Structure 1
Amino acid sequence: MLFPVFFIIMTTFPSAFIIPTLAVMLDSILGDPKKLPHPVRFIGKWLDLYENAARKVKINLGIAGWIAVLLFASVSWGIVALVTVIPYLGVLISLYLSYAGLALGCLIKESSKVLHVLESGDIVGARKAIAMLVSRDTSELDANGIRRTLAETVSENLNDGFVAPLFYLCLFGPGGLWAYKTVSTMDSMWGYRTERFNDLGRGAAKTDDLLAWLPARITAYLMIIAGKLRGLNIKETKKHFKKDARKMESPNAGWPMATAAWLIGGQMGGPTVYFGTVKDKPVLGPIDKPWDKTMIRALIGLCDKTGTIAAWVFIPVLGMLSLAF
């Protein structure tokens, strides 16, 4: 009986509203679909093959990177557009691809796991757990370093893993979501200023900056709304978050990070090890205010609330815009 009811609902109400709503619910309840074939894994494999081919034929890597952005983003959108119009089955595919493109549930679950392991006294286990979420070197982090790293990655990934994908899902459907996710995946794999990726990843990094520009700023303001509802430090946040956000090398990462730092009252930034090199990242938030477990829990709750507000705003507003066009 469930399947006929499901298809009646899906054909009666615009999928621009129903698909994102169900996707957000599934993400919240189930988190990352680890036992199912995740599109990001396929994208990653194809990007590895492309990189190897580009290096073998000795094409200009800067040009190869820009070609990859156009090629993989358009192919991803095209494949999703084709499979989601399959009669009956396409509805389920649309729902799965939409759900798989959102990562707030996974972010909350994994960050809570890191905090639990750390607070149990297992600092080695906490280093290993946090290493699964970040690209920096975590092998020498102390408890304060782990909590600071956790705060930074949770706040930054609120936009990258949920708000921005939901924005493109609501506005352009599953195809738009996966075009964005493809660029984001490309940036996460190639977007490093190292000898290996400096040229190849430039196109992905610039395109990801452009696509995430508006969602990152929306995320910051939604966090402030969520912070007000949770009784956090709104006055100081409004005074400082924009200035701090602009300190970051990335045009987008600083917006949710600075907002979270001021709302919760903990410092982000400072010396950070990437690929064996210490990078002195800009300081965001109150100086010399270390993170404790209560602050991390407050941050996780803030991100959860922000995600809920984003869904309540994006699904009706952007859904109506998508129908209009």
Structure 2
Amino acid sequence: MEARTYADDRRAGVVHEVIAVGSVVGIGALATRRRGAWGAVLLTALATWTALGGRSLVRAGHAMADRLDADDLVGARELLPSLCGRDPSVLDTEGLARAALESVAENTSDAAVAPLLWGAVAGVPGVLGYRAVNTLDAMIGYRNERYERFGWAAARTDDVANVVPARVTGMLTAVLAPLVGGTAGASLRAWRRDAGSHPSPNAGVVEASMAGALGVRLGGRTQYRHGIELRPGLGDGPAPTSVDLRRAVRMSEGVQVGAVVVAGVIAWVRGGR
């Protein structure tokens, strides 16, 4: 579709976003029409399973920690693209650990909390529509020569879709900080102090709250294939290690369970649908 809609223009990007996301939402809405109770349950379960990525995130986090513990830099660099879009060829052990940990923090919100919340609020169209928004942002929401304008709509839509999920993730991270030896106070302090300086209004929240809970410092020079970004520091403490990455994965698992509870409460309040 991009070959048909692409132009170095924001309006073309809006058209691309509307067609791509709108078609998925429409399919979800059509699929849920005139379904019996059990059909609705099955369809909701299938849509949610399709949209969730928390289990894959946990597996990738543990695999990265295993390779770093074994000093397998080649293997760790090969694995990193499954977690984030940074250039692994320029990263050492410390850089790989930080990149993986920041990705675990951000994707706990994007791949688990947000789909659950959108599903609880808007059912099958909501969960599938959110996954379309988030995936399209990962495809074209970049500030490089090709996508600076065309990908603007995808990036901004994703920002809006994740405003509430990111903050729910931050609150759950703070509440569950004792799971990884941290405190809610430290997590909330890092959130309040550092999140606003991050270029993303949502990634800053989840990364800062995670850094505070773990007692590590995230941010700094971040190299993508399209260029280098100098990220602000998040949290206080040393640079993260593979041990901290495993703690972040454990936190991610706890936050995912917490998100299931929150989504269930929302669905119950809305009438048990």
Using the size of structure 2 for normalisation, the TM-score is 0.92
Q: Is 1:78 paired with 2:36? A: no
Q: Is 1:168 paired with 2:118? A: yes
Instruction: Please tell me the residue identity of whatever aligns with 1:180.
Output: Y
Secondary structure of the equivalent of 2:88?
coil
Alignment of 1:100-111 (within 5 A): 100-111=50-61
Partner of 2:16: 68
CA–CA separation in structure 1 for the residues paired with 2:45 and 2:162: 23
Q: Is the 8 A contact 1:167 1:215 kept in 2?
A: yes
Q: Is 1:305 paired with 2:258? A: no
Q: Is the 8 A contact 2:28 2:125 kept in 1?
A: yes
Q: Is the 8 A contact 2:190 2:211 kept in 1?
A: no
Partner of 2:5: 54
CA–CA separation in structure 1 for the residues paired with 2:107 and 2:45: 22
| Stretch moving more, 80-89 or 175-184 | 80-89
The percent identity for this pair of structures is 30
CA–CA separation in structure 2 for the residues paired with 1:90 and 1:171: 15
Q: Go from structure 1 to structure 2 and tell me whether the alpha carbon gap of 1:233 and 1:252 turns closer, same or farther (over 3 Å shift).
A: same
Q: Go from structure 1 to structure 2 and tell me whether the alpha carbon gap of 1:140 and 1:260 turns closer, same or farther (over 3 Å shift).
A: same
Partner of 1:245: 195
The structural deviation recorded for 1:231 is 4.1
CA–CA separation in structure 1 for the residues paired with 2:204 and 2:176: 18
Instruction: Please tell me the residue identity of whatever aligns with 1:68.
Output: H
CA–CA separation in structure 1 for the residues paired with 2:222 and 2:42: 43
In structure 1, runs of 5+ residues without a counterpart are 1-49
CA–CA separation in structure 2 for the residues paired with 1:260 and 1:75: 35
Q: Go from structure 1 to structure 2 and tell me whether the alpha carbon gap of 1:213 and 1:276 turns closer, same or farther (over 3 Å shift).
A: closer
What whole-Å deviation, never above 9, does each CA across 1:114-172 have from its counterpart, x for those lacking one?
Answer: 11122122110111111221111011211111111111100011111111111001111
Q: Is the 8 A contact 1:135 1:274 kept in 2?
A: yes
Query: Pick from 160, 164, 167: which aligns with 1:210?
Result: 160
Query: Pick from 271, 294, 301: which aligns with 2:243?
Result: 294
CA–CA separation in structure 1 for the residues paired with 2:41 and 2:263: 21
CA–CA separation in structure 1 for the residues paired with 2:243 and 2:144: 36
Q: Go from structure 1 to structure 2 and tell me whether the alpha carbon gap of 1:241 and 1:154 turns closer, same or farther (over 3 Å shift).
A: same
Q: Is the 8 A contact 1:266 1:290 kept in 2?
A: yes
Secondary structure of the equivalent of 2:28?
helix
The structural deviation recorded for 1:294 is 2.1
In structure 2, runs of 5+ residues without a counterpart are none
Partner of 1:47: none
Q: How many residues align?
A: 271
What whole-Å deviation, never above 9, does each CA across 1:72-131 have from its counterpart, x for those lacking one?
Answer: 222211112223446666653432221110111110011111111221221101111112
The structural deviation recorded for 1:173 is 0.8
**Aligned-residue CA RMSD (Å):** 2.0
Alignment of 1:108-147 (within 5 A): 108-147=58-97
Q: Is the 8 A contact 2:173 2:187 kept in 1?
A: no
What whole-Å deviation, never above 9, does each CA across 1:175-196 have from its counterpart, x for those lacking one?
Answer: 1111111111111111111110
Query: Pick from 189, 193, 201: which aligns with 2:139?
Result: 189
